[in-house]
Amino acid sequence: MTEKVKLTWNGKEIEAPKGSNLLQAALDNGIEVAHYCYHSGLSVAGVCRMCMVEQDGVPRTYPSCNATCAEGMVVRNDTPKIKAAVESTLQFHLLNHPLDCPVCDQAGECGLQDYYMKHGQYDSQMIDKKVHKEKVQDIGKNVMLDAERCILCSRCTRFTEEVTKTNELGILNRGDHAEITVNENLKNDYAQNLVDICPVGALTSKDFRFKQRVWFLEEVQTTCIGCATGCSVKVSQNKNGAYRVKPIYDHEVNGHWMCDDGRNIYKHVSSPTRLQNASENINGLFVPVDEANVQNSVKNKKAKYILTAALTNGEYTNFFNAIKGSKAEIGLYTLPDQGPEFDGILRRGDKNANSRGAKAAFELAGYDHSQAALDKLLNGISSSDVVYVVIPEILYNEDHFNTLIAKVEKAAVRIALTPGETLSTLRAFNYLLPVPSFLEKNGEIINYQGSNRKLRAGRAYGEISKDVSYYGKWVNV
Amino acid sequence: MILNADLYREHGFLKGTYLGLKITMITMLRNLFKHDRITLNYPEEKYFYSDRFKGKHVLTVKEDGTLRCTSCMLCSTYCPAQCIHIVAADDSDKEVEKAPVSFEIEMLRCVFCGFCEEACPVDAIRLTNEYEMSGHAEQEWVADHYELAFRKSLNNGKGIVSTVDDKDRLKLRL
């Protein structure tokens, strides 16, 4: 337990750990301090000069991001002196800004727009020409760079230096010709965090580029199902679809960041090719079919279920309750490991979001979750069986999954329960039935640490109520 | 016409009617042979409203003939009827950067308030004095950007050039 100190900020008494960052203490206590370069996940640079404060007994104003909390400090940032300082600092930030808010994706969540409304000097005093830099640079990994919009806060260079340690970005030249440059295209797997930490529109996402204005979006806080880490994320969506995934600060699991693989987990959810109705495979074409027809076709057949390790704990419990007392065979398909077990930052080789929860649920219900049990199930498939396969939401290795599909083909009726798109590989199935995706269900998954991570339902773009346990009840039909 | 009760009180019913009809006949004859009447023979004759009239929308074009709109979506954000639908995309020209691939206005939903015109930062959308927008029920009532920018009535299909061209915008940038 660190020692706490009391200090006064704008007349309000706040408490902070001794020696902690002065700016962070204010932000934690809900005091508004303008800042660009300070980011609690990165080192202190002190280059933007926006977070200036005045302290009693100190003659000069100083940036609060570079100061530490001490007992009895009396700090203010609402004095006329500070206001004038912030105003003129912002004026310098805006000197060469191209003002292309109408075409900039950051508009609506831009630091320059926010602070301009509060601290802006509305008439430009500049008579010289603006310095132009290169726009629309694709610097790889779905990141676009516009050097003109940059305010040189150096958050991005510090990120590549400290977090990914790949050093792709740097600031070149001097004075007003200084600009962010890539020495080679981005190659780290966390590159899209640069888009999040950029306080202005200099670094924008190529994936999200011009898709939607940010003020049309609403956010749902959920958990990434891309791997066993289970990062806290928010998915931006509106009635037309889901548009992007951003990390939420969570000091226990992911900190400030998330990996680039996790940015793609939303794509199947609102895809136009997502399965909406129960469909029958007629010579390779999926045609909507009445659910009663599917039920008739599974009558008096031995049911075999192959689940994935990305369902919620509640879904497993409900499923095992639904099939209780039947002779159904159940196997667990786990996605194969991808890459190293742990890449040192966040990403894990185990791509199953809830493998711990799945295994616990299988053991509790008395079923074997091992690969050997799945192989036994697959080898035992005969022409009097009906096989239900839950399609994994995020499929990293399609070939591995196709080997499983190939083994299923002996069964009389093959049913795919899919939360996503109608992939061409699903032609091996007789029927496709929709199930909710991760963005349409509330529940919990257990990550690699064994801690419970919450999934929250946002807007629905497909099936929301009929989950795996609903089809589990068909075992008795 | 205002009924003149005094006419009947003074002259009695028959003479009063006759006097009233006299006024009618005089007005009719005057309108038949003298052309100072107010009614127009629509559609052969048409009334021209001032440019401030809020009629059918027009999307202005740049000097090179492409749409002025940068698809910033401010008009569709501001629109109280939510009748403007824009799909934006990358433009090959780096100076333009963002341009609409589709710009649609649901004409039946539009309330012709002119907020889109006021919200536009680049003079890309205007309301014209065109007021003839009648049509059939089965007609497609969604105006796309071909109709909004290049319909026959606008400079014979060439479109109206915006007052804020890209060169001007760059000049403003200094």
Q: Are residues A71 and A116 in the same domain?
A: no
Task: Find the domain containing A127 and state its range.
Answer: 97-210
Query: How many angstroms away from the CA of B40 is the closest CA of chain A?
Result: 45
CATH code for the domain of A18: 3.10.20.740
- How many Å apart are CA B165 and CA B15, to the nearest integer? 71
Chain A residues with CB under 8 Å of B89 CB are: 210
Report CB contact under 8 Å: A103, B173. Answer: no
Q: pLDDT, tens digit, for every residue of B95-108?
A: 888 999 999 999 99
Q: Is residue A262 part of a domain?
A: no
pLDDT beyond 70 at B169: no
Query: How many angstroms away from the CA of B70 is the closest CA of chain A?
Result: 6
Q: Are residues A374 and A316 in the same domain?
A: yes
Q: pLDDT, tens digit, for every residue of A15-51?
A: 999 889 999 999 999 999 999 999 999 999 999 999 9
Q: Are residues A65 and A187 in the same domain?
A: no
For chain A, say whether B77 makes contact (Cβ under 8 Å): yes
For chain B, say whether A130 makes contact (Cβ under 8 Å): yes
Higher pLDDT, A241 or B2: A241
Q: pLDDT, tens digit, for every residue of A61-115?
A: 999 999 999 999 999 999 999 999 999 999 999 988 888 888 999 999 999 999 9
Q: Are residues A108 and A38 in the same domain?
A: no
pLDDT of residue B174: 43
Higher pLDDT, B168 or B19: B19
Report the residue from B72, B173, B174 with minimal CB separation from A103: B72
Query: What one-letter code names the amino acid at A56?
Result: D
- Picking from A210, A244, A259, the residue at the C-terminal end of a domain is A210
Report CB contact under 8 Å: B71, A210. Answer: yes
Query: How many angstroms away from the CA of A67 is the closest CA of chain B?
Result: 38
Q: Could you give the number of structural domains in chain A? A: 3
In percent, the amount of chain A with pLDDT more than 70 equals 99
Q: Is residue A215 part of a domain?
A: no
For chain B, say whether A473 makes contact (Cβ under 8 Å): no
Q: How confident is the model at residue A128 (pLDDT cuts 50, 70, 90)?
A: confident
Report CB contact under 8 Å: B90, A98. Answer: no
Q: How confident is the model at residue B87 (pLDDT cuts 50, 70, 90)?
A: very high
CATH code for the domain of A106: 3.30.70.20
Q: pLDDT, tens digit, for every residue of A239-288?
A: 999 999 999 999 999 999 999 999 999 999 999 889 998 999 888 888 99
Q: Are residues A338 and A353 in the same domain?
A: yes
Q: Is residue A244 part of a domain?
A: no
Residue of A nearest to B87 (CA): A211
Q: Are residues A332 and A436 in the same domain?
A: yes
Q: Are residues A71 and A47 in the same domain?
A: yes
Q: Are residues A284 and A406 in the same domain?
A: yes
For chain B, say whether A187 makes contact (Cβ under 8 Å): no
- How many CB pairs below 8 A link A and B? 39
Q: Are residues A352 and A400 in the same domain?
A: yes
Q: Are residues A42 and A172 in the same domain?
A: no
Query: How many angstroms away from the CA of A118 is the closest CA of chain B?
Result: 21
Q: Are A319 and A390 in contact (CB under 8 A)?
A: no
Q: Is residue A270 part of a domain?
A: no
Q: Are A438 and A222 in contact (CB under 8 A)?
A: yes
pLDDT of residue B138: 78
Higher pLDDT, B140 or A30: A30
Q: Are residues A286 and A400 in the same domain?
A: yes
Residue of A nearest to B85 (CA): A212
**The whole model's pTM is what?**
0.85
Report CB contact under 8 Å: A98, B173. Answer: yes
| The domain made up of B57-172 is a member of CATH 3.40.50.720 | no
Within a 10 A sphere around the Cβ of A245, how many other Cβ atoms?
23
CB-side neighbour CA atoms (13 Å) of B95: 10
